[in-house]
Chain A
Amino acid sequence: MLFVILAPLVLAPAALAVPSNRRRPLVLLAGALLHAAGVAALFASPPPPRAGAWLAFDPMAKVTLLTTTVLFLAAAIYAQGYLARRKDRDNRVFVGGLLLLLAAMTTVALSQHLGLSWVAIEATTLASAPLIYFNHNARSLEATWKYLLICSLGIALALLGTFFLALSGAAPGGPRSLLLDDLIAAGPALSRPWVRAAFVLLLVGYGTKMGLAPLHSWKPDAYGEAPGLLGALLAGGLTNFAFLSIARVFQVTRAAGDEAFARDALVGLGLLSIALAAVFVVGQRDFKRMLAYSSVEHMGILALGIGLGGGAAGGAFFHSMNNGLTKGVLFLSAGNIHRAFGAKTTDEVRGAARRLPVSGPLFLAGFLAITGSPPFSPFFSEFAILNGAFGAGRFLVGGLFLALLAVIFVGMATTVLAVVQGDPGDAPRVPDTGDSWLTAAPPLALMVLVLLLGLFLPQGLRDLFGAAAQLVGGRWD
């Protein structure tokens, strides 16, 4: 189990040591392949759970790691083509940082100790912040500063929340531990007021990292200015781990008997995020910022799914995988369009489908998938969440959710169609930026995966989502 953390961690300094800017991206590919092999080995022979262990391969870890390792592999292949074209930039920090990010994210997934989880989440912020500054201009600097400051504030509040949680079980006879199993086993013996305060702080702290409204303000800036490759890993990978951490804290809150309060908070923040995304997506001319608001929306959907519980919780875990893979398609193809036009607003970009025969249509297909059009897989997970809402008699919540999804579909469609359709004509053009195998095949492969998951969901994955949902009191219908 340690292998999947250590492999990228050891390769990161190795990447810093490689002198050649041209060969360095190969280290990234090696890290991605080793990580994928490690995760596959874990699935082939899952390590037996041990009491008191700080790391465990539980169902939630399985769902997030599976998504991330596929996404990271696609991103690493894409990086070979992308970084080869960015000879103007030293990629030392970029490659090293991505590997550190992978190691930190894997630690979050496997960690059963809430203190260790906190350290690992903070590490993800520190590893990813310098990467946003890859383009070394004033705009990316501003985005980096906001990301670093806002996420550090959030993470500091999360630390306070972690301390509160430790204190709730610190009474004589309490668990006196931050291990998930100990806290859940102690259940009602935990001090209720501290658990509730801890849940609020941790929801705010990790919610900042996840990008739930109103704590999302760093997101459009960071995703807008970061290379598409990094946007894919942040929106499709990192946010899932913040979600996973919130789900773990929810497990403890639920065991302590404060379930109703926590569910209401999650449903409220979830709906607020979707509503806010709907407001800002409509009329958004910058297509990378539009994707950032779409990410806010989908984080809201995940929170909503866990908050509603029942079949919606199973849908939420399925959706975390679908959102991760589809965001990969969208950010990688948006990155290609951005490179080819040297611009990212609908004022200057049009006719992407003609100039980029693969990335343009992929951007359109990714948009259809992420907004929940059948037969792509996000349709089925969003449907499961909606079904859960109506099944539980929450007609107002379900109705609002459905109405907001429709608004977002129309809002995003306006921007995406303006980018993809039409005649590029005299739109700005950057030489040597067309679709190549290395930059077009990875998003295409992810898109095929999203389609296949929609057409046929293997029984193994269904059981996995069910097992993950069971941890937060839900099920897979």
Chain B
Amino acid sequence: MASFVDLVFVLVVVIDLFLLASSRLGAAIRTVAIQGALLAALPLLLLRETHHLGHAILLAGGALAIKGLFIPWLMFRAIREASIRREMEPIVGFVPSMVLGAVGVALAFAFSSRLPLPDAGAHAFLVPTALSTVWAGLLLVVTRKKAVSQVLGFLVLENGVYVFGLLLSDVMPVMVEAGVLLDLFAAVFVMGIVMFHINREFSSLDTEKLSALKD
């Protein structure tokens, strides 16, 4: 069981690096969906005390429905309607951004060994995975031009924050977690509507066109 949990964490980090290097939007959305599904399994895999079982199932179910299914479905609709397949010219190239991502992973492991964890029983990979996923998400948002890629980056960032939140699953009341998932859902929903309007206004989902406002 323990090695299986290790595998999940490693896969999450590998997916971060894959996303940084991938130009095909369809594949990227599918990969984010897989990452979401993996993350949904984590609350159950990391469960230590059985009286939290109901809470863990609720969190896992919610995460799977939103991160693994609903949001990817929304994103697929967006690229189908805009008929785009690829992120053509990112601001930072695919290889450099992957290298930056890898540096982030190394730093995350180095950094988290320094931070004292109040809970000694926590999984050793949890904090570095969370921090490297947050970093990868930030990189994606900042370096990509297509609105879809930017939203995907935001999702990856939220995934990283979610992994970190698992550290607190017995401290935080359910309400706050529900609020977190709900907000993610609403954020992507509103972003989806805005993307729809960008597409209609400019006949493309390229945020390069959004550069009329400057000083």
Contacts and interface: CB of A to CB of B under 8 A. Distances in A.
A217 to B, nearest CB: 10
B154 A159 contact: no
Interface in B162-184: 164-165, 167-168, 171-173, 175-176, 179-180, 183
Nearest to B165: A163
B2 interface: no
Interface stretch (B17-25, B61-69, B206-214): B206-214
A126 interface: yes
A435 interface: no
B95 to A, nearest CB: 24
Contacts of A139: 212-213
Interface size class of A (residues with CB under 8 A): 35 or more
B49 interface: no
Contacts of B172: 115, 166, 178
A133 B194 contact: yes
A94 B98 CA distance: 42
A157 B211 CA distance: 25
Q: Which of A125, A148, A152 has the most B CB atoms < 10 Å from its CB?
A: A152
Give the secondary structure class of A's interface.
helix
Contacts of A125: 187
A143 B190 CA distance: 14
Contact of A145 (B119, B157, B158, B207): B207
Nearest to A193: B115
A149 interface: yes
Contacts, number: 122
Contacts of A143: 213
B202 interface: yes
B183 A167 contact: no
B142 to A, nearest CB: 9
A247 B111 CA distance: 28
In the A-B complex, the 6 residue pairs with the closest CB atoms: A171-B118, A115-B176, A142-B210, A119-B179, A221-B213, A122-B183
Interface of B: 114-119, 134, 137-138, 141, 147, 150, 154, 157-158, 160-161, 164-165, 167-168, 171-173, 175-176, 179-180, 183, 186-187, 190-191, 193-194, 197-198, 201-202, 207, 210-213, 215
18 contacts: A115-B176, A116-B179, A118-B179, A119-B180, A139-B213, A142-B210, A142-B211, A142-B212, A143-B213, A144-B194, A148-B190, A152-B154, A152-B187, A160-B164, A163-B164, A163-B167, A174-B118, A225-B213
